[in-house]
Structure 1
Amino acid sequence: MLIYLCLLLVPLFVTGEANVVQRIVNGKLAKNRQFPYVVHIKAFENNDTKPCGGSIIANTWVLTAAHCTENATWVSLNYGDIWRGDKPAMKLLARDHVFPHPQYNSRNNGFNDIALIRTERVEFSVHIQSIPLPTESAHRDGHNDYMGQWATVAGWGDLHDRGNGSVRLFWASLQVVDQSECRYRYGKDMKGVLCARSDSEQSVCGGDSGGPLVHNKKKELIGVVSFGSLSGCEEGGPLGFMDVSKYVAWIRHVSGVGAKNLQ
């Protein structure tokens, strides 16, 4: 199942129902090497630990959600495994390695909920790979080029509303829907948000925040898990993802990584 981040661990994104709850519910078990671009992230703040997901976009860069790393002192990352790692493959000081979007503010509806993590260099293999970014032309004159198309989300989040996170990586298929579905449900401007849902009650949940939404045909990273409904992960409501195509210029400015540019 896709799983949302535990409600107590994440900030409010949009007033009303929306909050950051990430998991994979009613999903399928990932196979070995099926998602070599997915990273399991732990953010450490004082005595608290916040689990999240992330996507490898280059040998030294990972993309995740800004709320995942907010107020973190350290972040640890595990690469290339479908099991949730207890021992970090890499542990980084957040102030030197984490770059949240400069306009992100959890107290201001959580817009621009996206962040980059500069990592030590990792060598690519059959288990560890980057995922291409989309082009910046995915939206023109407000038109969503992804409308009605299917994408895949993966994560180690909760498998149901009372879950505690999964030890195995799960995935699910979601369909991109009109942004109006998220606006109607959450009652706020959805600037920079990609809206997706499943008719079979598949969803992300606690612990899936920051994880990837990858276009099934183009094999591009089109979304970053951001928020879902306070009513619960099993409800099957529309989900909010940061629209990566809206942030390609910022990603390139900070990291030097651009669309189809896998450094």
Structure 2
Amino acid sequence: MRTMLRIAATATAAAAALTAATGSAHASGVNKPYIIGGTSGTSPYIVQIAGGDSSQSWGCTGEALNAQWVLTAQHCIDGVTWMSAYYGNSVTSPGTEYTADRVVASPYGDVALVHLSSGKTLSSYAPLATSYTAKSGDSGTVWGYGLLAGGARPTHLNKATVNVVGTSSDAYGGKAIHVKGVNGASNHGDSGGPLFVGGVIVGVCSTGDVADPGSDIHAGSNYANLTASRSWIRSTSGA
């Protein structure tokens, strides 16, 4: 059983109207994730995302591609009427709210872009791979603001080492990279968070192999492979 890895949350952001262009069927039965195990980390461009509709809100992870575009998972924008991004790596003190005015879904899988109404200039932005073919045995690193072991809430951005074990499919039927945790694993709230292989981002967190990974640092998850969406990302965001 696979479950999506965004997480139900009480958002601190004020609602902002969005123009949503999802182009895909609604993803039902959404559960949302955080990193189990692993270690704390810092990054200028791995951001916290809060979004929701009139009845619920949720949290995800994203990557700033430039001053106004953030990469995340498509299921994080599914049905949203408001969305905001925060650049502070502290969950308890996330910093200034940057509201979104548009979200756009990739036609190639569980990949999406969020456009911010005002830009945030950074010293560096998320490095995306040109392409990547999943190879069993490759070592990677996953990052996110998702739940800790046993469902505990995080206080900070976390990262973990994973191994690529093969190919799989993401929440929307696109090609995905199947990974297993080495010293930590993705959990609810890590949706949209990056998978780095060789120093570049090759995928974003889509689903987990089980609905509740508990405290299993070796749990498996599926990262939407960015290869098919790479040209679309470039033409949409310029990144």
Q: Same fold (TM over 0.5)?
A: yes
Instruction: Name the structure 2 match of 1:153.
Output: 142
Number of positions where the alignment pairs a residue of Structure 1 with one of Structure 2:
217
Q: Taking structure 1 as the reference length, what is the TM-score of the superposition?
A: 0.73
- Among residues 199, 216, 229, which one is paired with 2:209 in the alignment? 229
Q: Deviations over 1:147-176 (max 9, x none)?
A: 32222111121102433x312111111111
The SS at the match of 1:175 is: strand
Shift of 1:51: 0.4
Task: Please point out which of 53, 70, 82 is paired with 2:78.
Answer: 70
Please tell me whether the aligned partners of residues 20 and 228 of structure 1 are also in contact (alpha carbons under 8 angstroms): no
Match in the other structure for 1:6: 7
The alpha-carbon deviation at position 209 of structure 1 amounts to: 0.7
Identity %: 25
State the TM-score, normalized to the length of structure 2. 0.79
Partner of 2:122: 124
**Cα displacement (A) at 1:23:** 1.5
Q: How far 1:223 moved relative to its partner?
A: 1.1
User: What is residue 192 of structure 2 aligned with on the other side?
Assistant: 210
Gaps of 5+ in 1: 14-18, 104-111, 258-263
- Give me the whole-angstrom Cα distance separating, in 1, the residues matched to 2:99 and 2:210: 32
Compared CA separation, residues 20 and 11, structure 1 to 2 (3 A): farther
- The AA in structure 1 aligned to 2:159 is W
The 3 A distance-change label for structure 1 pair 11 and 158 is farther
For residues 101-112 of structure 1, what are the structure 2 equivalents within 5 Å? 101-102=106-107, 112=109
Q: Is the 8 A contact 1:195 1:238 kept in 2?
A: yes
Higher relative contact order (CA 8 A, sep 6+): 1
After TM superposition, give the deviation of residue 191 of structure 1 in Å. Answer: 4.0
Q: Which ranges in structure 2 are unaligned for 5 or more consecutive residues?
A: 11-25
Aligned 8 A contact 1:209 1:224 in 2:
yes
Pair 1:116–1:207, CA change in 2 (3 A): same
Q: For the structure 1 residues 86 and 199, does the alpha-carbon distance in structure 2 shift closer, same or farther, using more than 3 Å as the test?
A: closer
Query: What is the SS of the residue equivalent to 1:209?
Result: coil
- Give the CA deviation at 1:225: 0.5
More helix by percentage: 1
Flag the structure with higher strand content. Answer: 2
CA RMSD of the aligned region, Å? 2.9
Report 1:1-263 matches (<5 A): 4-6=5-7, 11-12=27-28, 20-30=31-41, 34-79=42-87, 81-84=88-91, 85=93, 88-93=96-101, 97-102=102-107, 112-119=109-116, 120-125=118-123, 129-136=124-131, 138-139=132-133, 144=134, 146-163=135-152, 165-179=153-167, 182=168, 191-200=174-183, 202-215=184-197, 218-233=198-213, 234-235=215-216, 236-257=218-239
Tell me how far 1:20 sits from its aligned partner.
5.0
